[in-house]
Amino acid sequence: MKSLALLATIVCFALAALYLTGHGPAASAHKIHVAHAVLFAGLGLLSLLWYRFAQTASDPTA
């Protein structure tokens, strides 16, 4: 699950950067969508928390 959390973190921060620069998937005419960037940055932070607290499959304390 740690790899999935890390992948989600990378995707969320990449989308936040794209929206902040005006090149996001839903950006029409290269408008900057700050609300979307903040949303994806928040999701990226939550994904980092998930990564931090996720257990590995080989962890004996699970």
This prediction's pTM: 0.81
**How far, in Å, CA of 19 to CA of 35, rounded?**
9
Give the per-residue SS3 of 3-42.
HHHHHHHHHHHHHHHHHHHCCCCCCCCCCCCHHHHHHHHH
**How far, in Å, CA of 17 to CA of 49, rounded?**
19
pLDDT of residue 1: 84
Per-block average pLDDT, block size 10, for the chain (62 residues)?
94 94 72 88 96 76 60
